[in-house]
Amino acid sequence: MRIKFFLVLVLAGMFYATDVQASSWQVLNKGTGLPGNNVNSLGTAKNQMAVGTDNGIGLYNGETCLWKTIALPEKVASSQIRDLAFDSKGNIWVASSNGVISIQNGSVEIFGVADGLPTLDIERIQVRKEEIFAGSFGGFVSKAFVPEAGRTSFAPVNYSRSSEDENPRICAIGITGLAMLNSSEGWVSTKGAGLIYNRGMSKDILTMENGLDSDWVEAFWVFEGQQKVEHLIAATLKGMTIFRDRKKIGTISVPVKSENSWITSVIAIYCDDYQAPRKGLNDEWDAVKFLGKRAMWVGTKNEGLFRFENGKWTNFVPENSLLPSRNINRLYFHQGRLLVCTDAGLVVIPLAANSFDEFKYIGIGSKYFKTIFPHLTITAVNHLAKRSDFWIATDGALKALNPPEEDR
């Protein structure tokens, strides 16, 4: 018999997730501390989580288990927060409609054209090791080194500047995704110029000529498949194309029902409890072979969240789950959890099955008393006793939690 524990302590809670059933999801919104309900980005580092919303940046501290809204200067206070990431020093880098914003130890630095950016209209940000990558309108990708403190300067990655023409030639309307591997090599998805693998001065470009159904790529996911060959999923407004070693091998049809729906995000995650379906049971056999032991999650506009696992599609919407909206902005995967950014809040979906995932994945904060994200309710704890079990006395009940053997 499966038992679900839901115990909320003074500072946070411990959560036992038996499966991915919607009853185990957490929903974070303005009511739980976020500055806005429309969530479009997030980043985590050590004991902190930053969430970009339509009303600024919310910062969660795993030690205090409290949210605060980061105050931004008037110049960028009304800017759209499009993307964000932490660097190794704990600083936050933000892609905004008014340049790159850096938040360092409470101080805010704003980077613009004078700092080497080709435009102020920044759409994506990525931090890899000690480098910051910024994707902007026009299809430009810029890079800079993480500074010890204060300011840095950006240089071109996929474009060049010359004395004859200081304005780089626009190659796409914008950037939808970055997956840079180093200072000059990695994948970039664009609005109008396909999917580009940048390698120094050379490029491999996947467009409609290579099998994409559109040159406007909304999202992509790359993983190492069988024989350690690169597997790639490219999601466009019209559907998904799959590539093996950059050669098209097929398409995947997401079972959306409305013509007004489109794909916004895709993630393929390794499944511990994978069960191979029998060949011929479904129309997605090529996708099953392509994904291997992975479940694929697809976010959409208007039709919620889709999961393709063990050869079957499941559609999550507000009517059958805790998903607060049918509009998915982005998907993330972090420490055994799928993080779903919607226009009505952030949804945390634990994916670890049949395990005390809060003990397995310590996440943000210290063991036993902190989780990676706060729970919906704070329950006053009158007394807590620990031996081989936890016994918690609250205003509502006396509850026990029996931890895994290795954590006693």
| Per-residue pLDDT tens over the stretch 133-192 | 999 999 999 999 999 888 999 999 988 876 555 566 667 789 999 999 998 899 999 999
Tell me how long the chain is.
408
| pLDDT-based confidence at residue 90 (cuts at 50, 70, 90) | very high
Domains of the chain in start order, with CATH, are: 71-248 (2.130.10.10)
Q: What is the pTM of this model?
A: 0.80
Strand intervals (E) in 311-394? 312-316, 328-334, 337-342, 345-350, 381-386, 390-394
Check residue 202 and give its pLDDT: 83
Q: Which residues of 135-163 are buried (b: 16+ CB within 10 A; e: fewer)?
A: bbbbbbbbbbebbeeeebebeebbeeeee
257: number of Cβ within 10 Å: 9
CA dihedral 101, 106, 107, 111 (to 10 degrees): -10
Amino acid type, 237: L
Residue 300 burial by CB count (10 A; 0-12/13-18/19+): exposed, middle or buried?
buried
Token pair of 17 as six digits: 């997730």
Check residue 164 and give its pLDDT: 56
Check residue 176 and give its pLDDT: 95
Which residues lie across from 96 on neighbouring strands? Answer: 81, 99
Check residue 402 and give its pLDDT: 52
Query: Nearest to residue 137, comparing CAs of 123, 125, 116?
Result: 123
Token pair of 403 as six digits: 């931890």
Residue 282 has pLDDT above 70, yes or no: no
3-state secondary structure of 71: coil
- Pairwise CA distance, residues 211 & 359, whole Å: 45
Say if CB 348 and CB 51 are below 8 A apart.
Answer: no
| pLDDT-based confidence at residue 22 (cuts at 50, 70, 90) | low
For 282-307, what is the mean pLDDT?
87
Residues of the chain with pLDDT > 70, as a percent, come to 75
Q: Which residues of 325-361 are buried (b: 16+ CB within 10 A; e: fewer)?
A: bbbbbbbbbbbbbbbbbbbbbbbbbbbbeebbbbeeb
Cα torsion angle, 267, 80, 31, 90, sign: positive
> Whole-number mean pLDDT of the chain?
80
- Pairwise CA distance, residues 315 & 304, whole Å: 7
Residues 194-241: tens digit of each pLDDT: 999 988 778 899 999 999 999 999 999 999 987 789 999 999 987 899
- Pairwise CA distance, residues 354 & 376, whole Å: 23
CA distances from 118 to 123, 141, 197 (A): 12, 9, 20
Say if CB 266 and CB 221 are below 8 A apart.
Answer: yes
366: number of Cβ within 10 Å: 12
Token pair of 358 as six digits: 């809060």
DSSP 178: E
